[in-house]
Amino acid sequence: MNNSINNRKTVLITGASSGIGESFAKVFAEKGFDTLLIARRKERLEKLAQELTAAHGNVNLTLALDLNETDAIQKVASFLKKRRLHVDALVNNAGYALPKPFMVGSWDEHKAMINLLITVPTALCHLVAEGMKEHGQGWIINVSSIAAFAPEFPGSLYNAAKSYVLHMTEALDLELRPFNINCMSLCPGLTSSEFHETMGVKEFLSYIPKWRWMESDIVAKEGYEGVMRGEHLLINGKVNRALVNAFKFMPNKIKYLMGKKQIIL
Ligand SMILES: NC(=O)c1ccc[n+]([C@@H]2O[C@H](COP(=O)([O-])OP(=O)(O)OC[C@H]3O[C@@H](n4cnc5c(N)ncnc54)[C@H](OP(=O)(O)O)[C@@H]3O)[C@@H](O)[C@H]2O)c1
């Protein structure tokens, strides 16, 4: 399939087998994009691809891949090359938070999370940006989090990794915007998905009221609309925007104390 010839637009979405990534697949398909869906769980991806094709008549390809494999980016590159597929939009969404403090987690566990949250999205941006430049258009959404602004959690590298995503995205946006490529960080707050289940903290967080949680479909819809209108940073929802503002203006001493007392807002 060569989408440059038939003039169709394709979005590559990582972590499309559940939560925010699955919601992004639905939004982009609804807007007429073809999709390339990447995650490890093949059956989930294939089921989603079939549903999208049935609903929208677009082309939905799947690539079941562990993005932490050492040659994962090469595998994505050869998948694209083999099909002469141009990526018009990229959503770097795959991620998880390791629920272990620094010295409790093994180095391999930390390394894997850092790789998935930092190296993989950066490498995928690098992989597709040249093609976007040649086409004179492109959209990149890198999923960060309001955690990028929040107090640290003892021994967790997640906030630092999401902060990297924020800075990396802004740097790329400054370079690529003149070529009509919009790069945007998306910062959701608490979102209903499999994220907290994977972390093993779903029960623990059940005390948080419903109004604090957003639906992944809304997070993705806001993300799509944000990048299309040229935002470079989008924080989902009023409550999350208020929290981020509070974190921005909070003296570091207070943030540090909140981290020490493990206060989650
Ligand atoms: N939920 C929240 O409250 C929240 C808040 C802020 C930011 N975020 C961010 O939003 C993004 C999406 O998370 P979510 O909430 O939608 O969680 P989720 O439902 O757990 O989705 C995570 C996705 O990442 C994929 N993934 C994980 N490890 C992978 C690997 N090694 N290779 C390929 N794919 C992998 C998973 O697919 P497979 O298991 O099939 O591989 C799944 O599709 C993450 O970057 C997360 O940090 C979430």
Over the chain (265 residues), the average pLDDT of each successive run of 10 is: 74 98 98 98 98 98 98 98 98 97 97 98 98 98 98 95 98 98 98 95 89 97 98 98 96 94 77
Residue carrying structure tokens 């391999």: 108
Please give all residues whose beta carbon lies within 6 A of any atom in ligand 1, as ranges: 14-21, 39-41, 44, 66-68, 93-96, 116, 143, 145, 188, 190-191, 193-195, 198, 216
Residue carrying structure tokens 């950066």: 122
Cα(251) to ligand 1 centroid in Å equals: 31
Residue carrying structure tokens 């807007």: 31
**How high is the pLDDT of residue 6?**
72
Cα(171) to ligand 1 centroid in Å equals: 24
Of ligand 1's atoms, which has the minimum distance to the CA of residue 197? Answer: 20
**How high is the pLDDT of residue 7?**
81
Cα(136) to ligand 1 centroid in Å equals: 30
**Residues in a beta bridge with 234:** 186
Residue nearest to atom 44 of ligand 1 (CA): 95
Phi-psi region of 127 (alpha: psi -120 to 50; beta: other; left: phi over 0): alpha
- Range list of β-strands (E), the chain: 10-14, 34-39, 60-64, 89-92, 138-143, 181-187, 191-192, 214-215, 233-235
Q: Which of 86, 63, 80 is nearest to 10 (CA)?
A: 86
The amino acid at residue 6 is: N
Active site residues: 158
**How high is the pLDDT of residue 3?**
67
Q: What number does CATH give the domain 10-260?
A: 3.40.50.720
CA-based torsion, 196, 199, 202, 208: positive or negative = negative
**How high is the pLDDT of residue 203?**
87
**How high is the pLDDT of residue 263?**
75
